[in-house]
Amino acid sequence: MSETVLRAGAPARPALALAGAEPPAVRLTRVSKWFDDGGRRRTVLDDISLTLGRGEFLCVLGASGCGKSTLLNLVADLDRPSAGVIEVPGGRRAALMFQDHALFPWLTAGRNVELALRLRGVPRRERPEEARRLLDLVRLKDAYGRRVHELSGGMRQRVALARALAQDADVLLMDEPFAALDAITRDVLHEELTRIWSENRLSVVFVTHNVREAVRLGQRVVLLSSRPGRVVREWTARPGTSEAALTDRVTEALREEIRRHGRR
């Protein structure tokens, strides 16, 4: 029987999936997060209920400061919710990939990946071969011995992706990983990420403020309100749906949310 990991800020526990149904990769039930700000409570996320299906690619969209990164930190267990419950059925850890590649510059690409393998408990003699396999997976077969300063921005993000995959987590959390890249490099990495996701049946939560990116990558797009972050709209990609038309609809919803926040 698979284990369910619960990380709770309040003792509530939602019902488990129906018998015979595959449990989700992640389930959030009425999750809120607030901080003390000089004696006043500052709410960043408010009453978030969200489910990530197994093998699903979910994009979380919202204006800067709406709590997207906080949401990822909670799922990654880097922080705890102030209220609500986060379930990770099966007990698998989530791997987090940041906007900044966060590679160690004194190590080669291969050694950066091997470090994640070491932390995972992979025997030392097996790490080089596994690191080369993961670099090959992100189309960096010949980069094993190259140092970080020898790599382009796009290549560094590929190494960071290989390092995230080295954690052997079936949930990949991505915090605006391509935001600092030029448009052409970003498009190439979109294609690579889609390939890796489909080949490995990963469950992905991809945070972005770029509507085109969210619509292009996501099977489902969730829009968070400006602070405090709440789920206000959701779109599911349907066969035959025009990407341009959906981008226009999502863009207008995001603009309206930003305008609404500005009228407060």
Residues 169-214 pLDDT 10s:
889 999 998 888 889 988 999 999 999 998 888 899 999 989 999 9
In 6-20, which positions are buried (b, 16+ CB within 10 angstroms) versus exposed (e)? ebbbeeeeeeeeeee
Most confident of 110-114, 198-202, 234-238, 246-250: 110-114
Task: Say what percent of the chain tops pLDDT 70.
Answer: 89
Q: Which amino acid is at 184?
A: I
pLDDT top residue among 9 and 81: 81
pLDDT-based confidence at residue 237 (cuts at 50, 70, 90): confident
112 contacts 51 by C-beta, under 8 angstroms: no
Query: What's the predicted TM-score (pTM) here?
Result: 0.85
227 contacts 67 by C-beta, under 8 angstroms: yes
Compute CA distances 147 → 53, 107, 108, 250, whole Å.
37, 6, 4, 40
pLDDT digits (tens, 9 = 90+) for 85-123: 998 877 667 888 887 778 899 999 999 999 999 988 999
Alpha helices in the chain (DSSP H): 68-75, 109-120, 127-137, 153-165, 183-200, 211-217, 243-262
Range of lowest pLDDT (59-73, 119-133, 238-252): 238-252
Distance in angstroms (rounded) separating the CA atoms of residues 15 and 139: 42
Give the model's pLDDT for residue 226: 84
Tokens standing for 96?
């987090």
Task: Sketch out the chain's domains with CATH numbers.
Answer: 4-93+171-262 (3.40.50.300), 103-168 (no CATH)
- Is 10 a residue whose pLDDT tops 80? no
Compute CA distances 79 → 8, 69, 206, 218, whole Å.
11, 11, 18, 25
pLDDT-based confidence at residue 240 (cuts at 50, 70, 90): low
Give the model's pLDDT for residue 37: 79
Give the model's pLDDT for residue 7: 42
> Computed from CA positions of residues 235, 54, 194, 128, in that sequence, does the dihedral angle turn out positive or negative?
positive
Burial class (CB in 10 A: 0-12, 13-18, 19+), 143: buried
Region for residue 61 given its phi and psi (left: phi exceeds 0; alpha: psi -120 to 50; beta: otherwise): beta
- Is 124 a residue whose pLDDT tops 70? yes
Q: At what angle do helices 127-137 and 109-120 cross, to 10 degrees?
A: 120
pLDDT digits (tens, 9 = 90+) for 68-84: 999 999 998 889 999 99
